[in-house]
């Protein structure tokens, strides 16, 4: 007969000493106390020899040790000066290997959250798909700006673009960059019937550089953080208006010496917003991620579609080699082509016709193949990478490849 029942004494079924059961005595777990928040007490550090501890320093620097090994190494470092110095050198080396992590959320997270919400409850007035990259990029830039103090708003920024005689640049500030985006986005705003941010300021042309310079010159003082509110309000108004206008993607937007349909102009503004957000992030030493793959693909596709027209303009100006035929290829006909392969996020393949902006790219008439990383191609198109340094791989007609790369860089502007 048992002295206690199963629940009120030390000799219950779960507590026997192993006699007659074939099992050994149960080893108790560390007791949790009130002082340590109810968690088991940490196990004591291992007692390891000096040679073993020295061999663990590399793993410790990489945070690859077990908890007990890490405790043993750290206890040893407080006693051994030579190992402490070596551990410091290893830890500093590890920091050089690690890419700084951005505190920003994944650029694709906003899109995924919105898609999930819209699946549950579709919007009464949806934003057109071609306007979502602009909506996303302006939101990301605004999130970067929201905690800036006066020092960050006046941090120097150098805007860069490509010219055949060398890379051109213009010095401004973070606030000056937002003023630039405000005035150039204003070309889309005016097309949609919204107020022009230039107001009474007169620019000689509708070209982005002319509008920006006119705005900067008319300011009595350098732009300050006050420019953020009108820029953000204008971006919201543009997105709201294109949602209400319905299928207005074909509406022409004039940039002075060229036009883009509204759907392409919105992609162009999204691209420039991202590029200048990177300029700002670089100025304040903050990491900034590229757009989501789907939006990046749209930006690359726009640049690829614009290349034949830029090639033709450069050829007329004597900046590109003449076409391989004695006359232009008729519109819609296949012509000599360069295969542009974009690798990585947002990638794909495009056949760029060389002989006429109206020609059709043709695999049968392919004369060269060039491959670039997606983000690298965008930085080339922004004038941030010299054409000669942007190629990941190339095969075929070197002159045709050079013309395409220089045409891509010529897409850039202030």
Query: Which residues lie below 8 Å from residue 316, measured CB to CB, with a gap of 6+?
Result: none
269 membership: H or E segment, kind and range: helix 262-283
Task: In whole angstroms, give the CA distance from residue 358 to residue 331.
Answer: 4
CATH number for the segment(s) 310-409:
3.30.1050
Look at 41 and 83; give whichever has higher pLDDT.
Answer: 83
Residue 155 corresponds to which tokens in the numbers above? 């941090």
CB 309 within 8 A of CB 355: no
pTM for this predicted structure: 0.71
Composition of the chain by helix, strand, coil, percent to 5: 45, 15, 40
Alpha helices in 36-193 (DSSP H): 50-55, 57-61, 67-77, 81-97, 107-120, 132-145, 150-153, 174-191
pLDDT at 371 over 80: yes
Q: Is the pLDDT of residue 276 over 90?
A: yes
Residue ranges of domains in the chain: 42-97, 128-283, 310-409
Residues 6+ apart with CB under 8 A from 342: 300, 348, 349, 350, 371, 372, 373, 374, 377
Task: Provide the token pair at 51.
Answer: 């040679």
Burial class (CB in 10 A: 0-12, 13-18, 19+), 275: buried
Kindly report the number of other CB atoms within 10 A of residue 61's CB atom.
Answer: 20
Q: What is the pLDDT of residues 312-356, one digit of tens each?
A: 999 888 888 775 444 567 888 998 999 999 998 889 999 999 988
CA 298 to chain centre: 14
The listed CATH number (1.20.1300.10, 3.30.430.20, 1.10.20.10, 1.20.120.450) that belongs to domain 128-283: 1.20.120.450
With beta carbons less than 8 A apart as the criterion, state whether 406 and 318 touch: no
Q: What digits encode the pLDDT tens for the residues 287-321?
A: 999 999 999 999 999 999 999 999 999 988 888 87
């Amino acid at each position: 007969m048992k002295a206690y029942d199963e629940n009120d004494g030390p000799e219950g079924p779960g507590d026997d000493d192993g006699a007659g059961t074939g099992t050994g005595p149960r080893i108790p777990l560390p007791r949790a106390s009130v002082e340590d928040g109810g968690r088991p007490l940490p196990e004591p550090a291992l007692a390891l020899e000096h040679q073993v501890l020295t061999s663990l320093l590399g793993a410790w620097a990489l945070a690859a040790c077990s908890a007990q090994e890490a405790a043993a190494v750290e206890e040893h470092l407080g006693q051994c000066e030579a190992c402490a110095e070596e551990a410091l050198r290893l830890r500093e080396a590890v920091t050089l290997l690690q890419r700084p992590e951005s505190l920003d959320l994944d650029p694709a997270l906003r899109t995924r959250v919105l898609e999930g919400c819209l699946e549950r409850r579709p919007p009464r007035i949806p934003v057109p798909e071609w306007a979502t990259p602009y909506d996303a990029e302006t939101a990301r830039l605004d999130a970067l700006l929201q905690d800036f103090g006066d020092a960050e708003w006046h941090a120097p920024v150098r805007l860069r673009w490509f010219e055949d005689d060398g890379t051109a640049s213009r010095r401004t500030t973070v606030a000056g960059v937002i003023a630039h985006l405000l005035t150039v986005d204003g070309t889309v705003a005016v097309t949609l019937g919204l107020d022009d941010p230039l107001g009474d300021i007169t620019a000689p042309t509708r070209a982005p550089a002319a509008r920006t310079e006119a705005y900067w010159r008319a300011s009595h003082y350098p732009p300050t953080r006050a420019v953020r509110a009108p820029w953000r309000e204008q971006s919201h108004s543009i997105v709201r208006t294109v949602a209400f206008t319905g299928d207005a993607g074909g509406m022409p937007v004039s940039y002075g010496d060229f036009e883009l349909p509204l759907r392409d102009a919105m992609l162009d503004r999204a691209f420039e917003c991202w590029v200048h957000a990177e300029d700002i992030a670089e100025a304040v030493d903050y990491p900034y991620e590229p757009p989501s793959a789907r939006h990046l693909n749209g930006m690359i596709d726009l640049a690829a579609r614009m290349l034949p027209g830029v090639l033709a303009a450069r050829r007329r100006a004597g900046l590109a080699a003449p076409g391989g035929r004695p006359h232009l290829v008729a519109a819609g006909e296949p012509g000599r082509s360069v295969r542009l392969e974009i690798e990585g996020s947002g990638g794909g393949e495009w056949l760029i016709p060389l002989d006429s902006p109206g020609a059709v790219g043709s695999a049968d008439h392919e004369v060269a193949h060039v491959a670039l990383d997606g983000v690298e191609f965008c930085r080339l198109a922004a004038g941030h990478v010299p054409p000669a340094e942007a190629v990941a791989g190339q095969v075929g007609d070197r002159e045709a490849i050079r013309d395409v790369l220089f045409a891509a860089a010529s897409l850039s502007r202030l």
